[in-house]
Chain A
Amino acid sequence: MRWSKKRVNRLIAFILTSCALLLTVADPQKQLTVYTPQTAYSIEVFERHGQMYIGLLDLLTPLGVTLTSTRGNVWTVHLGKVEVRFTEGKDTARINDTSVDLGSSILVENSRVLVPLNASFSLLSGILHKNVDFHPAGRRVFVDNAGIHFTSELKKAEKSSLVLSFSQPVNPSIFQEGNKSRLVFKREPLISDLANQPFDDKAIRSLSFSEENGMAALTITGDTSLNVSVGSDGKTIVVQALPSLAPAATEANKAAPAQATPDASATPQPPQPSGTPSQNQGHGFAVYFVMIDPSHGGSDRGAFLADKIDEKDLTLAVARKLRAELQDRGIAARLLRDADVDLSLEQRAELTNAQHAGMYVAIHAGAPGEEVRVYTPALASSSVFSSGEQTHAKPGRFLPWETAQAAFLNQSQTVASAVIGELQKRDVRNLSLTVPMRPLNNIVAPAIAVELSADRSSIQDLLSTRIQSQVAASVASGIARARAQIEAAK
């Protein structure tokens, strides 16, 4: 039988359509998300013999647990003085001298130990000795009381609005499905007892909370399409009904990402150019914002400046002032920490990159020299700046951690120059330098560090509100100017 060209084309079209259909109906990858006060991570869930399983090391390694030995079919892991032994085929594990029931037997596949999903609760609480809360239906685990709570308030007016207030900044992916807005929280440990809350309102009908596949979601149902605005501090989300659209326009909006706008306090934002980290990347929406990093914190006091003056306290005070100054200029800003808490350098970079910050500013304080020093990143282990020419990162899904900043060095320099310019305008002594410093080198956005410095004899001057405000205003003006320059260049 001879195949005509027409028949071959039909066959190819059939195969392609079938593949597309299969991909559409295929289940998304099953996952479990673990939230701790410091971080959140998702791991793959496998189905074996009708049971859900997870990789043992996938679950424990991010928490600092290390595999210390494998003898035959016995696997031993350690965290501090806690030793846990797993034996292939057994349905119990031994944590020090205590036996823990895992519910089903331990599997080993290609040297990978799989434990039942439901055992994650007993394993984590036994190893970490911390409060662990497991939500099996949503496949979410909360360690050490990690959690973000929210309240909702319906403000009835001519144009009703639903105000959602969160205990910590959030950055959900927002999806519009007809007259429903869906806010998906993947990294945020959002918790609620709310299932479905109906409203006696024509425009906004209900709010529901659900947990599924390691994520939480808030669904707001309205009478028509809804408009979602994220507040500049990331802690408030306002949902409002859009005016009724012509049928054709409504149809066109179906299944499209929601059109979110900055909150009312913000001035109109220019559209996000393509390729920037804060741009809509097909899975939701993120507002352009500046991530301010009050360096150090918690047990890391930073530089010891004088009696009762630690760098960590000074950086937080200046960071708060900078946030206010940026907001006054219509630029959304977030603090990486707004309290005296520990955050590793890796976590600072990870949080900044994961939230797709438009810019990163680290605040430092130190000695010697009575001036404000503005640092741009210098990549210690790349030839990026040695040649004076910028080496762009190859486009791809992954970037080398050590040199993640490489593609943004020119933009970081633009920000530093603008800040220096503003400091000079205000007659503040300044110095521009480059430095091989973490986490600047790991940030996928324009990044600078600002250091307030004083000599030991005049270190008390750094506590002056006037000086701090002057520096914060200069940095904010510089950022506003640099942002405009960067956008214009694009």
Chain B
Amino acid sequence: MIPRHFQIAISLLLAGILISGIYIIKITHKERAKTQLAADERPVAPPVGGKQERIPILVAYDQDRALRWRETTIFMPEDRSLRAKEALRAVLAQYLGNPSPHPMGKGTDIKNVYLINNNTLVIDTTSPFADNHPSGILPEEMTITSLIETLSANLPEIARVKFIVDGAERETLAGHVDLMSFYDVSSVHELAKEFE
């Protein structure tokens, strides 16, 4: 016959093990969620004002070598520079997803968008936009065309666009497509037609 005090001690011990086990499982889950969050390289949506809007975006599909219009719902602020930035980020979000129709390097994002004289836009991207972009004429051309066409669809008054990378000019995106020139939006319309 097991003495009563011994039974009580074993019960308490088992209860302690159970509680510790539950606690450890909970902590493990929490840490895993944190790691997953840290590994997500997609741009974190900034706290933007404005109402939700359904906007057109032109998305590149490498496999078909085509650009296709899609619609996405995002918060669009009133300010035109911020609208341009959000529209561009909506396109990049498509490319940074998994699976991606047009993979781009981790850390790719739009840093700032500067509106000059109401019709010229300078887009400042993060370094990975160029540094980690897949090198090749076609993928580079599709990136530039999809971004400028998306801008034009959402801000029709924009006539010229220039890309800078981390605040400085770059000669090419990833060794091929020109980043030094200002792009005439009307010229880019012609390029986009080739990918229809």
Query: CB within 8 Å of B: which residues of A?
Result: 296, 300, 302-304, 311, 345, 364, 366-369, 373, 375, 378-383, 385-386, 402, 431, 433-438, 441, 449, 451, 453
Contact = CB atoms under 8 A, between A and B. Distances in A.
Given A366-B138, A369-B65, A369-B138, A345 B187 contact: no
B184 A386 contact: yes
A435 B187 CA distance: 11
Q: Which of B138, B175, B176, B190 has the most CB of A within 10 A?
A: B176
Given A300-B175, A368-B62, A437 B183 contact: no
B69 interface: no
B183 A380 contact: yes
Contacts of A441: 178, 181
Contacts of A369: 65, 138
Nearest to A431: B65
Q: Which of A304, A379, A435, A453 has the most CB of B within 10 A?
A: A435
B131 interface: no
B21 interface: no
Interface in B109-158: 134-139, 141, 144
B34 to A, nearest CB: 33
Closest 4 CB pairs of A and B: A366-B136, A380-B181, A303-B135, A381-B181
A366 B135 contact: yes
B189 interface: yes
Given A303-B134, A380-B181, 14 more contacts: A364-B136, A367-B136, A368-B138, A369-B138, A380-B178, A380-B184, A383-B184, A402-B180, A434-B191, A434-B194, A435-B141, A438-B171, A451-B136, A451-B138
Given A366-B135, A380-B187, A451-B137, A435 B177 contact: yes
B63 interface: yes
A107 B112 CA distance: 46
Interface of B: 62-63, 65, 134-139, 141, 144, 160, 171-172, 175-178, 180-184, 186-187, 189-191, 194
A345 B62 CA distance: 26
Contacts of B184: 380-383, 386
A70 B174 CA distance: 37
Nearest to B174: A303
A217 B171 CA distance: 37
A386 B181 contact: no
B172 A438 contact: yes
Contact of A438 (B134, B135, B180): B180
Contacts of B160: 381
A365 to B, nearest CB: 9
B172 A433 contact: no
A378 B191 contact: yes
B25 to A, nearest CB: 41
Contact of B175 (A303, A381, A433): A303
A436 to B, nearest CB: 5
Contacts of B62: 368
A161 B72 CA distance: 74
